[in-house]
C-alpha cells in the first residue's frame, strides 16, 4: 500500500497585498487633492469644480478609512516630504472619519465634516505663504489676521457654492474652544458644533506633533496627554477619550525605541494602547537594518521604552514603510 503523503497544510496569509494597492490609491488620492488644491488657490479652477472635487476626495477618504485606516494614519504622520499645508487637511480628515465612525455619526454628516477638514484653513493660505519665510514671531497685525481665517475660509467656500450646514459650521468654528477662549467669536460649550469639535481635536494634535522651524514637534504621547488635560475644558471630553483610545499611546507612524535598543516604527494599532504592531528599522547599535523586522511589543524584550524624535529615524522609517507597503510580502504560517 502506498502511503499517501499528507501534504502539510500551509496557510497563506497575504498580509500586505491589500496594502500594496492601498498605498498606490492613497498616493494618487493625495496627488489628486494636491492638483486641484493648488489650482483653486491659483484661481485656475472653477469654484464649482472645487466643491465637487472636495466631495469626491471626502468619499474616497471614507472608503479608504474603512479598508485601511492604520496605513493612512502612518502615512500622514510619517510624511514630511510633501508640504504640510497639503498633508495637514488630509490627515485632519482621516482623524475626523475615525472619530465620526466611533461616535456613530451618519455617513452623510461625516462626509460633510471631512469636507470641512479638507477646507478648514483655505482662508489662511496667503498668511501661510508669508510665514514660511518669516523667522520672527507673528506681528500683532498678522495675529489679528490669523484669527480671521475661519471667517475667510467660510467666505471662500460660500463663493464656491457650499451651502451645506454641517460643513460650513465645522469650518467656521474649528478654533472655538469650550471655555470661550477660542476665536473668532469666543463661543461657549453647546454653541460649538460637533464637527467643529472633531476638527479642533485633530487639528490641535497634528499641529502639536509637527516639527516647527525653531522647535521639534512634541511626541504623539505628549500631545495626547495635553489634549487629555484639556478635555471638557477646551476640547470635547467624550471625543478626546475616543481619540486617545483609537490612536493608542503610540499611534501608527510613531517612531519608538524598544527595550532591546532597537528603533522601530509603529505600523498598526494593537490590542491595547501600549502594545501596537511595530517593525524594527535600526538595530541596538544604531545601524539601519537591511530590512524591517516585525517585533512583538507584548514581549518583554521588545516592549516600547519610549518615543524617538530624531529626524534621521523618521526618514528611515518613512522609506522603510514605503518599501514595506509596496513589496509583495507573503507570510506562510504552517499548521
Ligand atoms: Fe485653522
Ligand atoms: Fe488647521
Pair (300, 195) in one structural domain: no
Q: Are residues 285 and 217 in the same domain?
A: no
Question: Is residue 10 a part of any domain in this protein?
Answer: no
Residue 307: inside a domain, yes or no? yes
Residue-level pLDDT, tens digit, the chain, 335 residues? 444 444 444 444 444 556 667 888 899 999 999 988 888 887 767 777 899 999 999 999 999 999 889 999 999 999 988 988 899 999 999 999 999 999 999 999 999 999 999 999 999 888 888 887 888 888 899 888 889 999 999 999 999 999 999 999 999 999 999 999 999 999 998 899 999 999 999 999 998 887 665 556 667 778 888 888 888 888 999 999 999 999 888 999 999 999 999 999 999 988 888 899 999 999 999 899 988 899 999 999 999 998 888 888 989 999 888 888 887 553 433 32
Phi-psi group of 164: left, alpha or beta (phi > 0 → left; psi -120 to 50 → alpha; rest → beta):
beta
* Residue after which a domain boundary falls, among 247, 276, 299: 247
CATH of the domain at 314: 2.30.30
pLDDT digits (tens, 9 = 90+) for 25-48: 899 999 999 988 888 887 767 777
Does 164 reside within a domain? yes
**229 with 272, same domain?**
no
| CA–CA dist 217, 87 (Å, integer) | 15
Q: What's the CA-to-centroid distance between 200 and ligand 1, angstroms?
A: 9
Question: What is the count of structural domains for the chain?
Answer: 2
Ligand 1 midpoint to CA 271 (Å): 33
Domain end: 203, 220, 247, which one?
247
Q: Is the same domain home to 67 and 109?
A: yes
Q: Which of 217, 247, 277 is the last residue of a domain?
A: 247
Residues 70 and 202 in one domain: yes
Q: How far is the CA of 204 from the centre of ligand 1 (A)?
A: 9
Instruction: Please indicate, yes or no, if residue 331 is contained in any of the structural domains.
Output: yes
Q: 234 and 315 share a domain?
A: no
Cβ-Cβ contacts under 8 Å for 63 (sequence gap 6 or more): none
pTM of the entire structure?
0.87
Q: Give a yes or no: residue 278 inside a domain.
A: yes
Kindly give the distance from the C-alpha atom of residue 234 to the centroid of ligand 1, in angstroms, as a whole number.
Answer: 15
Residues whose CB is less than 8 angstroms from the CB of residue 181 and which lie 6 or more positions away in sequence, other chains included? 234
User: Do residues 20 and 157 share a domain?
Assistant: yes
Q: In this structure, which ligand is nearest to the CA of 146?
A: 1
Domain CATH number, residue 239: 1.10.3210.10
Q: Which residues span the domain enclosing 281?
A: 250-335
Per-residue pLDDT reduced to its tens digit, 157-211? 999 999 999 999 999 999 999 999 999 999 998 899 999 999 999 999 998 887 6
Q: Do residue 60 and residue 187 come from a single domain?
A: yes
Residue 127 contacts by C-beta under 8 Å, 6 or more apart in sequence?
Answer: 142, 145, 146, 149
Q: State whether 214 and 170 are in the same domain.
A: yes
From ligand 1's centre to the CA of 177, what distance in Å? 12
193 and 260 housed in the same domain: no
Amino acid at each position: 500500500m502506498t502511503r499517501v503523503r499528507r501534504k502539510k497544510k500551509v496557510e497563506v496569509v497575504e498580509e500586505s497585498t491589500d496594502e500594496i494597492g492601498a498605498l498606490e490609491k492613497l498616493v494618487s488620492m493625495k496627488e489628486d487633492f494636491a492638483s486641484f488644491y493648488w489650482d483653486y488657490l491659483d484661481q485656475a479652477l472653477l469654484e464649482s469644480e472645487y466643491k465637487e472635487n472636495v466631495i469626491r476626495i471626502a468619499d474616497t477618504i471614507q472608503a479608504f478609512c474603512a479598508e485601511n485606516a492604520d496605513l493612512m494614519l502612518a502615512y500622514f504622520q510619517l510624511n514630511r516630504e510633501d508640504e504640510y499645508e497639503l498633508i495637514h487637511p488630509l490627515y485632519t480628515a482621516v482623524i475626523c472619519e475615525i472619530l465620526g465612525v466611533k461616535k456613530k455619526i451618519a455617513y452623510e454628516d461625516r462626509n460633510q465634516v471631512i469636507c470641512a477638514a479638507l477646507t478648514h484653513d483655505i482662508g489662511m493660505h496667503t498668511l501661510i505663504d508669508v510665514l514660511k519665510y518669516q523667522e520672527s514671531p507673528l506681528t500683532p497685525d498678522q495675529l489679528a489676521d490669523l484669527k480671521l481665517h475661519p471667517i475667510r475660509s467660510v467666505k471662500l467656500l460660500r463663493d464656491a457654492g457650499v451651502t451645506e450646514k454641517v460643513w460650513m459650521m465645522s469650518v467656521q468654528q474649528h478654533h472655538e474652544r469650550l471655555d470661550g477662549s477660542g476665536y473668532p467669536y469666543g463661543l461657549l460649550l453647546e454653541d460649538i458644533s460637533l464637527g467643529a469639535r472633531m476638527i479642533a481635536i485633530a487639528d490641535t494634535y497634528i499641529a502639536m506633533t509637527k516639527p516647527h522651524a525653531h522647535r521639534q514637534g512634541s511626541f504623539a504621547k505628549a500631545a495626547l496627554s495635553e489634549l487629555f488635560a484639556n478635555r471638557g475644558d477646551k476640547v470635547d471630553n467624550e471625543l478626546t477619550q475616543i481619540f486617545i483610545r483609537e490612536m493608542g499611546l503610540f499611534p501608527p507612524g510613531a517612531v519608538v525605541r524598544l527595550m532591546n535598543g532597537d528603533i522601530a516604527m509603529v505600523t498598526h494599532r494593537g490590542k491595547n494602547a501600549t502594545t501596537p504592531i511595530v517593525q524594527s528599522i535600526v538595530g541596538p547599535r544604531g545601524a539601519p537594518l537591511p530590512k524591517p523586522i516585525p517585533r512583538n511589543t507584548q514581549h518583554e524584550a521588545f516592549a516600547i521604552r519610549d518615543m524617538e524624535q530624531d529626524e534621521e529615524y523618521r526618514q528611515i522609517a518613512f522609506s522603510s514603510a514605503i518599501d514595506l507597503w509596496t513589496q509583495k510580502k507573503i507570510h506562510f504560517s504552517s499548521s
